[in-house]
């Protein structure tokens, strides 16, 4: 076993590990799909075989955290036979996803015998910072390997023993199939985060998976591209011409299906013309489901005992919602652009022209018509796997599947052509014949 | 004329201008192609009409710079009838490019009556920092408008009067066709750069066009995504089985066609087996064209009077080149990964298997076989326009066309579906039927 696994408190130098990850990434990037899938199958088998060892490491984490951790954190941390089986199953399901590499994104003949091809390739080295979930280790390692990337994992303190044991098993599986173990490594300790964030020459993408505070810290402290989002202040706008029953059920779903999710609705905006009829019903229905409704003055005039909205840029992440009245769809869009986080915005209306205008004009990763904001999700979108959700406009936006872990390169195959031939008196002329797209 | 144009030394607050640009960007983003093209045509006509005014502003810049500027800078700065005509022609040619917006990048039916669509949309606000070129103003404004983006231009000091005059004309043209003039604005003064780089809430992309020092400064001082590259240390690797005549002419082209370009070759690596025969011919041919050849010890043993390579990570940007001998293609790839800038790398060989391995394994924006590195260029690639060249792996890589100024959003059209329906005992099942891709 290489010394690259930091275990038993033996924390290796982060830079050394990152350099090893970079070397490993260059070795796994060109592998064909069959070899990457074989490695994933080896990982799955190794996890099954190592069950006892993994449970033991996890038991130590659980014992160490017993006094300090909340019951929900303990539940996430605890590894049992069912969870391990699900983790193994997930690794196998990642193997069965379509190959994100080597996709021909474009092909142009520049001239006879001079062919340009644009193909998808891995990013290189991913650094993933996550919290108390053992399943994050195997899922991230599987997604990274499937997409030809090396990965450096920085687990939360609570799950360190489990993470080290899991990575040891995964690395042994890589060696077994003749691949570099340094394609998966683990670094331990809070100080590692700052170190990782400074290594833009070695790390190609940082994926923070955790609290809003963690994501914001990462975004503010690195030049490395970050895949993640700090907040989801999603809106539902209820237009003038609306099917009230549809609106009530969609808003209830958007708020109560999973209030802690980033795609849960935080603010409902209602067109002034229907406010008097609709808002009392909406408030009653939400309150029946235990939702604390906050309102603007118009809402508070319609329904007694509603608290005033303190800040329209609030992500409650809980059974609470802001409700406001707007004079027009334009006002709704202005509100959304001023207070939203460009995550997911939905319009509820029977007026198709209004809906299409909303879809066209609202600037967000997801813009929906007559559907719950909760659909903004990689699995629901059919990506097979979700690497994260991005509210940045760069690289990947919205739910991000395996493609988000790739970039592309241009291949040009010629016969000794020179650029100088295409200039001057007897210049050759580019054909620029696109073959496929 | 709005006060948003900073003119006559009246420098407006950058933030105010950026907010106006953001508002304008939301207005132009949803415009259909015909309206954007009409605006470009109005711009082209307005530039033709304003010829005298533009020449006068430029004459002032030229007078002011006459004592300080180099003759090459003066040549770039000077606006004459021919250059203005070319600028007008370029604006019209941008109008004729295929629309980068509204492209359907994906379409998936999630369930009956629940359709997801992924379409290309503008980034929002671009900030472009450039140097002494009047033609940069019109080209950038045209590319921005074609792609539905607002743009803030920060010209070099030498070209300020010309830039202000050009932007005044472009803004008047926007107003004439009923579009917000703040879609194109100009900010003046060195201090503006730092201010722009801090505005990640308003500016969606920064494009530095200028010296390596400028690009590096921008990259190191902003959280806003940067489209640009600081360096191009491109390699040509001459493999064991090579057509010598082909290799000599491609290397000559890659070095001498335009030595200051980022895609010119800086380092030639030669396989040891052919070094003794090939290197003397290569050196003689390059020296005949005025190229200063630097070599490693092996090269210096083969040819008298060759200077030692000081640093393999050198971008000469001039008629100079490093030449080295490597023991194998693996050693060449290792050298390229260690010393290159991931811009463009070319292998010259008659061995197709070796070439394909090189294309697969080398990690760079462009990897070529038997072609000059000088082909790495948006026009040669057939993009119609080049926004820049990226050596980053994120968003856009390599030469970047109009697509590089876009992102995408997901549109979901439903009939009131709730996420909760797809879970639990009688859960609906997603169909995930891909319509096109």
Is pLDDT at B384 greater than 90 in this prediction? no
Residues in B closer than 8 angstroms to A123, CB to CB, are: 393
Interface of B with A in 372-431 (CB under 8 A): 372, 374-377, 380-382, 392-395, 397-399, 407-420, 422, 430
Sign of CA dihedral B413, B419, B422, B428: negative
Least confidently predicted of A127-136, B55-64, B260-269: A127-136
Mind telling me how many Å the CA of B52 is from chain A's nearest CA? 32
Which among A12-16, B137-141, B238-242, B421-425 has the top mean pLDDT?
A: B238-242
* Sheet strands (E) in A7-129: 104-111, 114-122, 125-129
CA distance B433 to B381: 34
Q: What is the mean pLDDT of residues B125-134?
A: 92
Whether B412 is in a domain gets the answer: no
Q: Do B20 and B161 fall within a single domain?
A: yes
- Of B343, B375, B407, the last residue of a domain is B375
Structural tokens at position A164? 């080290």
Q: Do B209 and B238 fall within a single domain?
A: no
Residues in A closer than 8 angstroms to B398, CB to CB, are: 409-410
In sequence order, the β-bridge partners of residue B278 are none
CA distance A129 to A142: 16
| Contact: A398, B410; criterion CB under 8 Å | yes
Structural tokens at position A185? 């490594």
A323 touches chain B (CB under 8 A): no
Confidence of residue B416 (pLDDT cuts 50, 70, 90): very high
Q: Do B212 and B79 fall within a single domain?
A: yes
Whether A149 is in a domain gets the answer: yes
| Contact: B410, A376; criterion CB under 8 Å | yes
Mind telling me how many Å the CA of B374 is from chain A's nearest CA? 6
Which pLDDT value is given to residue B338? 95
Torsion on CA atoms B403, B409, B414, B419, rounded to nearest 10: 140
Structural tokens at position A364? 């967000």
A114 touches chain B (CB under 8 A): yes
B124 touches chain A (CB under 8 A): yes
Q: Please give the model's pTM, rounded to 2 decimal places.
A: 0.90
| Contact: B369, A412; criterion CB under 8 Å | yes
Q: Do B212 and B257 fall within a single domain?
A: no
Q: Do A32 and A141 fall within a single domain?
A: yes
CA distance A279 to B159: 58
Whether A78 is in a domain gets the answer: yes
Whether B42 is in a domain gets the answer: yes
Confidence of residue B31 (pLDDT cuts 50, 70, 90): very high
| Phi and psi, residue A334, nearest 5° | -65, -45
Mind telling me how many Å the CA of B413 is from chain A's nearest CA? 5
CA distance A309 to A317: 15
Query: For A241-274, what is each residue's pLDDT tens digit?
Result: 999 999 999 999 999 999 989 999 999 999 999 9
Whether B114 is in a domain gets the answer: no
Whether A140 is in a domain gets the answer: yes
Q: What is the mean pLDDT of residues A201-223?
A: 90
Structural domain containing residue A333:
234-375
- Of B162, B188, B220, the last residue of a domain is B220
Q: Do B293 and B315 fall within a single domain?
A: yes
- Of A326, A359, A375, the last residue of a domain is A375
Nearest of B320, B196, B335, B257 to residue A421 by alpha carbon: B257
Structural tokens at position B432? 């995930």
Q: Do B271 and B141 fall within a single domain?
A: no
Cβ partners under 8 Å of residue A424, min gap 6: none
Cβ partners under 8 Å of residue A426, min gap 6: none
How many domains are contained in chain A?
2
Query: For A375-419, what is each residue's pLDDT tens digit?
Result: 999 989 988 888 888 888 888 889 988 999 999 999 999 999 999
CATH of the domain at B301: 3.40.309.10
Of chain A, the percentage scoring pLDDT greater than 90 comes to 81
Query: For B183-224, what is each residue's pLDDT tens digit?
Result: 999 999 988 999 999 998 899 999 998 888 899 999 889 889
ipTM: 0.90
A29 touches chain B (CB under 8 A): yes
Of A348, A409, A432, the CB nearest to B365: A409
* Sheet strands (E) in A183-291: 184-186, 205-208, 234-238, 265-271
A367 touches chain B (CB under 8 A): yes
Q: Do A253 and A280 fall within a single domain?
A: yes
Report DSSP state, residue A318.
S
Query: For B35-73, what is each residue's pLDDT tens digit?
Result: 999 999 999 999 999 999 999 999 999 999 999 999 888
Mind telling me how many Å the CA of A427 is from chain B's nearest CA? 13
Which pLDDT value is given to residue B436? 59
Residues in B closer than 8 angstroms to A432, CB to CB, are: 382
In sequence order, the β-bridge partners of residue B118 are B106, B410
Of chain B, the percentage scoring pLDDT greater than 90 comes to 81
| Polymer length in residues for chain B | 437
Whether B136 is in a domain gets the answer: yes
CATH of the domain at A54: 3.40.605.10
């Amino acid at each position: 076993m290489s010394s690259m696994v930091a275990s038993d408190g033996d924390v290796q130098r982060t830079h050394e590990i990152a350099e090893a990850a970079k070397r490993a990434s260059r070795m796994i990037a060109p592998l064909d799909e069959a070899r990457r899938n074989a490695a994933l199958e080896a990982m799955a088998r190794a996890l099954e075989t190592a069950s006892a060892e993994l449970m033991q490491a996890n038991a130590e984490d659980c014992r160490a955290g017993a006094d300090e951790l909340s019951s929900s954190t303990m539940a996430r941390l605890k590894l049992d036979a069912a969870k391990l089986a699900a983790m193994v199953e997930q690794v196998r399901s990642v193997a069965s996803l379509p190959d994100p590499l080597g996709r021909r994104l474009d092909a142009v003949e520049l001239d006879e015998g001079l062919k340009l091809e644009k193909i998808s390739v891995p990013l290189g080295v991913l650094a993933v910072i996550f919290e108390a979930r053992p399943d994050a280790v195997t899922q991230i390692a599987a997604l990274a390997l499937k997409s030809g990337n090396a990965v450096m994992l920085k687990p939360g303190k609570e799950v360190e023993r489990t993470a080290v044991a899991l990575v040891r098993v995964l690395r042994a599986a890589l060696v077994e199939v003749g691949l570099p173990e340094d394609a998966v490594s683990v670094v331990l300790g809070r100080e590692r985060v700052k170190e990782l964030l400074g290594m833009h020459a070695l790390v190609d993408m940082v994926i923070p998976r955790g609290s809003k505070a963690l994501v914001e810290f990462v975004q503010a402290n690195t030049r490395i591209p970050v895949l993640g989002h700090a907040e989801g202040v999603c809106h539902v706008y209820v237009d003038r011409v609306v099917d009230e029953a549809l609106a009530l059920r969609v808003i209830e779903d958007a708020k109560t299906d999973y209030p802690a999710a980033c795609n849960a609705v935080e603010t409902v905006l209602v067109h002034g013309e229907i406010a008097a009829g609709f808002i009392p019903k909406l408030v009653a229905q939400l309150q029946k489901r235990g939702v604390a409704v906050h309102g603007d003055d118009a809402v508070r005039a319609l329904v007694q005992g509603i608290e005033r909205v303190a800040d329209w840029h609030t992500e409650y992440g809980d059974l609470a919602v802001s409700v406001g009245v707007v004079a027009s769809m334009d006002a709704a869009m202005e509100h959304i652009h001023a207070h939203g986080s460009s995550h997911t915005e939905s319009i509820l209306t029977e007026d198709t022209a209004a809906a299409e205008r909303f879809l066209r004009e609202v600037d967000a990763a997801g813009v929906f018509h007559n559907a719950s904001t909760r659909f903004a999700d990689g699995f629901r979108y059919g990506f097979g796997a979700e690497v994260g959700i991005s509210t940045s406009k760069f690289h990947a936006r919205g739910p991000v599947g395996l493609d988000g872990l790739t970039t592309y390169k241009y291949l040009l195959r010629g016969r000794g052509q020179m650029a100088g031939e295409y200039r001057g008196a007897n210049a050759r002329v580019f054909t620029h014949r696109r073959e496929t797209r």
